[in-house]
A and B are shown apart, each in its own frame.
Chain A
């Protein structure tokens, strides 16, 4: 092929553009694979270590020589482990239900009612949402432990969820703002009171928002370490997975394989739930972040 025929042909520009597109495709996917390794490899190493023998976990080996599946039964047989599961489910499950039920009316009022002090209320909701839990923990602990004698249980963590969690209110309100007012007006013209409008018209439309709030709240409780540390640490029967996991490492000082198996067992439900509810998550994260 001569130089003249190369340069003179029509479509060279198109071919160059296509070559650029291919190179771009390759570059993007190479970067994506590199990023995927960074995000996935820790999981892989944890999983592999969880299947090693006690001795091998202390070496620099990356792949198990013998696959010790019974590490998992050993973890599940550890006294307390199943209790931590039950407690975590109680805290996360009951807490989520209470949060959703108590936050919906508040979010609805903030999204759809016009009243004096609405801006102020929103400001206070956001302030509460951003408040580090440690700021108010001293009087709260004294209140639950000394006045109500509930230290050593998860109730000081669950009961407050019946009073409208600030983050959930905020997230739900962002969602309800996207529900058109016309639907509400139509319901009101038909003679629905506010409660019925909320239950019959708004809630069915708000299902994705409610799902996002429920998921975030569930994972918050599942992952919470500080709360159980304050209220439940003195009573091992009230420990949750997050809190128990760390002490598990303490009891099995050198057994990284068992610790990693326990880590897998604590992470697994989170990942499983995520696969069933990806959309709700993404929608929820987007709603909290994007504001014009």
Chain B
């Protein structure tokens, strides 16, 4: 063996061991999440698929029953289609209103000269209110009989709707509640709006552009990725929309109580039922884990569809370096 080959061989050896060491190091640093991913994502997801083909009530051992759970959910379970319809409604109206209103408040906030910090804080605070507390408060505020909002509306001679007790108004009432918690979007839009180069506005002013023209041709193109981001995250949040519609339905219907009592979600007339509530309803109130698994998988498919949009290079959460 000559001297040179021995040197190259040691070199490749150290290089390889260095690479192996750095791979080990990466795995070590990632290990908490790797375990979490396996135990709290991969395993339960595969299990859910398995349960969706089983008859299982949590007591007797699971029995395979083919596509029965699937046909049950799609054709017989009467809350499934209302839940899907409500989700669609919320995606269009609630997400739309939130993005437009959030952008409006963002545009307003960056123009406030005196007391800007105070206003920003006031606008942000409702976002932090615990959902159960906020929902309770709004059911009370919008209570058709005694709520202050309808008192004010009637004093002004305006129509006073039934809000959470009227199936046509329960979703608009939820939308008002969602608009109240606009703080997160306001902050995101604010940051984006402050990033638009000022020189472009100055140049446009010299050309005599109107305020709307400036917004349309300078602001909007600059912030469009953030608008898209807000829309997509809004849709994903809607797929998870659970606490507010459930608590609103329970409290407005008067059927509450922590344990023991059953509540079929959707009051009034299925107008507030959403997909995540179905998992609880079938799985944990009717003890039909198989059918609940089917709903969970529908929910999963929808969420991941929109998550994929968020991961596209230009518009999303993955940077160019990933």
> Separation in Å of the B300 CB from the closest CB of chain A?
4
Binds B, one of A2-10, A65-73, A182-190, A259-267: A259-267
> Separation in Å of the A71 CB from the closest CB of chain B?
14
A289 to B186 alpha-carbon distance, docked (Å): 11
A290 within 8 A of B: yes
B32 within 8 A of A: yes
Given contacts A135-B296, A291-B316, contact A127 B22 (CB under 8 A): no
List B contacts of A165 (CB < 8 A).
36
B2 within 8 A of A: no
A28 within 8 A of B: yes
**Looking at the complex, which one of B133, B261, B303, B307 makes contact with A266 (CB distance below 8 Å)?**
B133
Given contacts A45-B148, A164-B33, A230-B284, contact A115 B51 (CB under 8 A): no
Per-residue contact bits, chain A 205-238, to B (CB 8 Å; 1 contact, 0 not): 0000000000000010011011001100110100
Given contacts A139-B44, A236-B259, contact A127 B307 (CB under 8 A): yes
**B247 and A225 contacting across the interface, CB-CB below 8 Å:** yes
B interface SS class: helix
B73 within 8 A of A: no
A141 to B44 alpha-carbon distance, docked (Å): 10
Q: Of residues 123 to 141 in A, which have CB atoms within 8 Å of B's CB atoms?
A: 123-128, 130-141
Given contacts A29-B114, A32-B119, A135-B48, contact A164 B32 (CB under 8 A): yes
A194 to B137 alpha-carbon distance, docked (Å): 50
A15 within 8 A of B: no
> Separation in Å of the A154 CB from the closest CB of chain B?
15
**A140 and B40 contacting across the interface, CB-CB below 8 Å:** yes
Identity of the chain B residue whose Cβ is nearest the Cβ of A235 in the assembled complex: B259
List B contacts of A239 (CB < 8 A).
258
A12 within 8 A of B: no
**Looking at the complex, which one of B113, B141, B188 makes contact with A28 (CB distance below 8 Å)?**
B113
Identity of the chain B residue whose Cβ is nearest the Cβ of A160 in the assembled complex: B40
Given contacts A118-B322, A126-B307, A170-B317, contact A134 B137 (CB under 8 A): no
List B contacts of A233 (CB < 8 A).
258-259
> Separation in Å of the B163 CB from the closest CB of chain A?
14
Q: Of residues 274 to 322 in B, which have CB atoms within 8 Å of A's CB atoms?
A: 275-276, 279-280, 283-284, 289, 292-293, 296-297, 299-300, 303-304, 306-307, 310-311, 316-322
Number of A-B residue pairs at CB separation under 8 A: 301
A97 within 8 A of B: no
List B contacts of A57 (CB < 8 A).
146
Per-residue contact bits, chain B 124-142, to A (CB 8 Å; 1 contact, 0 not): 1110111111001110110
A102 to B35 alpha-carbon distance, docked (Å): 11
> Separation in Å of the A150 CB from the closest CB of chain B?
14
A64 within 8 A of B: no
A267 to B229 alpha-carbon distance, docked (Å): 29
A16 within 8 A of B: no
B204 within 8 A of A: no
A38 within 8 A of B: yes
List B contacts of A115 (CB < 8 A).
22-23, 26
A123 to B41 alpha-carbon distance, docked (Å): 13
> Separation in Å of the A2 CB from the closest CB of chain B?
30
A146 to B256 alpha-carbon distance, docked (Å): 28
A146 to B229 alpha-carbon distance, docked (Å): 40
**A123 and B311 contacting across the interface, CB-CB below 8 Å:** yes
A-B contact pairs, 25 of them (CB 8 A): A28-B113, A40-B122, A42-B137, A43-B126, A105-B30, A110-B30, A113-B26, A125-B33, A126-B318, A131-B303, A133-B240, A134-B279, A135-B303, A136-B45, A138-B48, A138-B51, A138-B292, A225-B243, A241-B130, A242-B131, A242-B132, A266-B130, A285-B188, A291-B229, A291-B316
Chain B residues proximal to chain A, CB less than 8 Å: 22-23, 25-26, 28-33, 35-37, 39-41, 43-45, 47-48, 51, 58, 105, 108-109, 111-115, 119, 121-126, 128-133, 136-138, 140-141, 146, 148, 151, 180, 184, 187-188, 191-192, 195, 225-226, 229-230, 236, 239-240, 242-243, 246-247, 250-251, 254, 256-259, 261, 275-276, 279-280, 283-284, 289, 292-293, 296-297, 299-300, 303-304, 306-307, 310-311, 316-322
Query: Top 8 nearest A-B pairs by Cβ distance?
Result: A163-B36, A247-B258, A289-B188, A164-B33, A139-B47, A250-B256, A136-B44, A109-B29
